[in-house]
Amino acid sequence: MDNFMQEAIEQARLSLDNGGVPIGSVLVHRGSIIGRGHNQRQQKGSAILHGEMDALEDAGRLPASVYRDSVLYTTLSPCSMCSGAILLYGIPRVVIGENRTFLGEEALLRERGVDVEVLDDPACRELMTQFIAAYPEVWNEDIGEP
């Protein structure tokens, strides 16, 4: 498995270990991780700290040229909010661990020229499947379902 996706999975496990939704992400620029993040809505009472948003926050304020030369790795298909950030910052490539438990805005990303690769990784699927079964109310809150 790709080392960057492995790091995103480690971020997802860190979230789970700390009471949150097991979604992790890393932002990679020219072969180096410049931002790591995981879903922290429960841990920080945040409305926006999904894994991708947390990784962008961790990377800090960067020139647009850095984002346009980066790859975002995420364990789960990006939601509308996170996809909007990907488009806003011009991130050209997104590698997704899995999209069976949740299909985000992949079509929009592709339509707007983003190279989207879905790995269908068993570890990513297992993390989400087990979490959703154990904590459906938290999952439904996080993705805006009833």
Angstrom CA distances, 59 to 11, 56, 144, stand at 14, 5, 26
- The number of angstroms, rounded, from the C-alpha of 112 to the middle of its chain's C-alpha atoms is 18
Collapsing DSSP to helix, strand or coil, 123 comes out as helix
By CB atoms closer than 10 A (0-12, 13-18, 19+), residue 90 is: middle
Residues with a known catalytic role: 52
The C-alpha angle with vertex 45 and arms to 44 and 50, in degrees rounded to 5, equals 75
Q: Which residues pair with 93 in a beta bridge?
A: 71, 115
Contacts of residue 144, defined as CB under 8 A and 6 or more positions apart, other chains included, come to none
